[in-house]
Amino acid sequence: MGVIRILPEPAVEELLRTAVVGRIACCGHGVAGDGRPYLVPLAYGYDGESVYAHSGPGRKLDLMRAEPRVSFEVDAAEAPDRWQSVIAEGTYEEIDDAEGRAQALRIIYPLPAVIPELGAQTVLFRIRLTARSGRYESPD
């Protein structure tokens, strides 16, 4: 077993930029949810301030619309005692305007990637990160 330490800010940013899949945790009460946390993986893009993604209708969007405060997590592991993780807090926002949607899609699918055709019900959104922290473990 190694030693767990605080991940330096440049490494936090690097992991947010390079991870392929993140996890979003949201929670809601009343019509949108039963108060239990809901955790789902998603492919995303990151611009240094916000996480961008898209989704079709469903529970995740219902919960984030009802309670826009969410958590976001990414990690990378090489072995049980060699890993990094970042947890961030943020606020969910839908992107409705054409220019904002085009910019968000290019962040999610950077060049030379081709932006796929999205269905009419696809919602583009960002999570404006308000706090972030990271940890890592290394054998010592």
| pLDDT tens, residue by residue, 5-64 | 999 999 999 999 999 999 999 997 765 567 788 999 999 999 999 999 999 999 999 999
Tell me if 138 is assigned to some domain. no
Quote the number of domains for the chain.
1
Tell me if 18 is assigned to some domain. yes
Which residues touch 108 (CB under 8 Å, ≥6 apart)? Answer: 43, 44, 45, 52, 53, 54
Residue 81: which CATH number? 2.30.110.10
CA distance 22 to 3: 24
Tell me if 140 is assigned to some domain. no
Domain housing 49 = 3-133
Reported pTM: 0.91
Tell me if 13 is assigned to some domain. yes
Strands (DSSP E) contained in 9-81 are 21-26, 38-43, 45-46, 50-55, 69-79
Tell me if 88 is assigned to some domain. yes
